[in-house]
Structure 1
């Protein structure tokens, strides 16, 4: 599998989130919603940069393959990447300026972000070549643009292939990425990678013992061995059963420091295919939810269990 840019909330009343749609700004009216599974972005590389995923994690390497297939643009200075497929923020196809809609163009700073991923993967030479692509995208005064023109030369619009488009220049974000990449290449490692994430998620392989159900994230399955955590915005009694209401249990929510009311349902021992059914009593209103929700126990989680 691969990481999508944005996934719609999981909902018990809907199909799988990957089958849902997400809105994209800067598109013409009537052409704003796109299938979530088709929209990818280099944003996912931040999972490696922040120490949350190893560079060789199969989920990351598969995502990189999809990113390159969908978003890579080879230019004279080297490869650059688009923000995401379907992006409407950029000049129109005929070179006319962005006017609320348009077509996204390659972003030089994304070459810097990709270089940091390559450095994390131990490919320093590839990272250095991407530094050259980033620097080669600068304008005559050495300023880095937000985007570069990826079409044929249009001298009448001052748009030249591989050169700065009519976007913002300088883009300070791009200059910041350039400076950070220079430092990282000097160090031979991603200098701004938080060590806490590396220690917790890559070295210790820590994963959560929970799967979380919320009203805006009504999951349908919970892996075997996981505890189902119910998160609510108000105090409640969770009334639940694992045998179609032949017997039932009540769990009171507990408020955490963030004002979220939690109830952990100990269903980790349920056989695969078992159904947990639950509803809510709201003591503040003195009312029942009057709707039953259900979650099915699925396969064993492929990740290591969180140490208890």
Structure 2
């Protein structure tokens, strides 16, 4: 193998009594013991060893009635080391090994905030299931952390639709056993909710120390050592640049001047230069002005403003906060349509151009519909604006959008209601990311085929969306609705209580007969239970855990206090202060190493002008400050090196009024 995990690994299987037959072979070849057993029902030719490949070991144990036996599998860089490791494990009674393992988890759990003993509206059985799933969620979250690279939490310990992926397939994409900054943030909220601040802080340090790129951004996903993962695919997702800023503030890293200078400032500068529309939204499929993405940017920039102020950088604090305010004021202008087919006003999934009333179209992807009008595509991502404390849960456009979400995306199952990620009003799901269900208006067949085989399918319900809706209901004062969704979410879990990525909303589908081709076979689906993608999804476990803490406290525990105070506090949100750049003009070519920026704003306003190079591999923003004169005029000089430059001017007046404007120029 190549890449960051290319070290040699040897595996050895040891039994407490001699094997009657044994073989080491390569997956999917005649030397594969499973292939031999499936074909001939016996282990034929025995191979002494298998080197340099995807190895499978098969052994026949001398099984005797009423006499249990122990097997131990050991790994090491050498054969002798692997045998020694396995032998040591086999010599220790299994009960002792299990007891030591359990003691470690009991010790960890003793330091956590546990679940409530009872939630209003829950039956005794529901309370019991809630407590069991809460503890499981807390432990699954912690188990998702790599044991070598502390702070690296994977999105899931699974490959989605792993049963359909040939074992000999090299690691090239579509695994969830990687670090995604967005999923890490959601996991982080679970760690804070259960009281594990040590792991939460380690996660933040890992993201900034190991994953952050020289230009301040974060890749779509990374390997466990922090290197860029091969399935990043060149995608940019600016919400993943924003969430680490919020995490740093909530982890208590304010005041660390070097950390601010080396990590916070570059990340926030990147958002100022590239936001609000840069890359794809949280479902990783389409670019555009997305409510959920912009919500993350607002929260990240407000947090960055606080971190800048704590680090003594007042100029950037003003720049970041004023940019956040502008995004908060305009998110509706970019993402609420007044000309759509469902209602007079409502949030849409995204707008490619920032004009939600235009007849813009885009393809839904994953084998679904093409050329779909943006105004007909709905998702509930706008609820991030209320969860993060940027819009009131009673906001008229939020309230008007909820019935639209329900009419387009909601399905009722045996476990309770659930929602699709996004879609249009149609008979069946129009999200194509999921196990195939042929009656849906997507291009897939046969029913039950895993999405992975042809990258087409039918999207199903995402249980974590029950949690997001419950948090909205709770904020709006509807505790019974929120509690009911917590019960539904728990009922959708799989196995011991694992929250799946998706849950099946369609009629039951039987499993394909034994021996069917796993690339097309149905694994069997039950209405209201896990579909075939991935379980557990760590984001989902964190969503469930924090929802239980929400219900116990009758509040959204992960809502940032800094955004809530700024936009929903007792005073009004920051007032709008007009600010313009009169020179240079948008799109101008400017000569020389520096450029004089002039403009107007409110008299006496503090002006911060940032100049950055968005295409630079080490993008950073140089900030100049001044105070507007009696007539409101201002003038500063900023560097404008050769190539594209973005100039951002902000005004701050009286601590509670801000303005923002931006122009792009080319330096020569």
TM-score range, shorter chain: 0.5 to 0.7
> Are residue 152 (structure 1) and residue 507 (structure 2) matched?
yes
Distance 1:2 1:229, change over 3 A: farther
Aligned-residue RMSD, C-alpha = 2.9
Match of 2:565 in 1: 199
- Correspondences of 1:1-308 after superposition (within 5 Å): 1-10=345-354, 18-27=358-367, 31-85=369-423, 86-93=430-437, 94-98=447-451, 99-156=454-511, 157=522, 158-203=524-569, 204-207=571-574, 209=576, 227=578, 229=580, 237-238=584-585, 252=598, 255-256=609-610, 259=621, 307=657
CA contact (8 A) 1:50 1:194 kept: yes
Distance 1:16 1:41, change over 3 A: closer
Structure 1 unaligned residues grouped into runs of 5+: 211-226, 240-249, 263-282, 286-305
Match of 1:293 in 2: none
Q: Secondary structure at the match of 1:74?
A: strand
Distance 1:228 1:22, change over 3 A: farther
Structure 1 range deviating more: 197-206 or 82-91 = 197-206
TM-score, length of structure 1 as denominator length: 0.67
CA contact (8 A) 1:184 1:191 kept: yes
Distance 1:24 1:155, change over 3 A: same
Q: Secondary structure at the match of 2:470?
A: helix
2-structure distance, mates of 1:194, 1:179: 17
1-structure distance, mates of 2:538, 2:371: 31
2-structure distance, mates of 1:260, 1:9: 28
How far did residue 24 of structure 1 move?
Answer: 2.9
How far did residue 255 of structure 1 move?
Answer: 4.0
Higher helix share: 2
How far did residue 17 of structure 1 move?
Answer: 5.1
Distance 1:115 1:255, change over 3 A: same
| 1:141-172 deviation digits (Å, cap 9, x = unpaired) | 22111111111111133111111111101111
TM-score, length of structure 2 as denominator length: 0.32
| 1:7-65 deviation digits (Å, cap 9, x = unpaired) | 1124xxxx86542123433235xx44421111111211111000001111001001111
How far did residue 131 of structure 1 move?
Answer: 0.3
Q: Secondary structure at the match of 1:169?
A: coil
CA contact (8 A) 1:88 1:102 kept: yes
Distance 1:58 1:260, change over 3 A: farther
CA contact (8 A) 1:97 1:166 kept: yes
2-structure distance, mates of 1:196, 1:33: 40
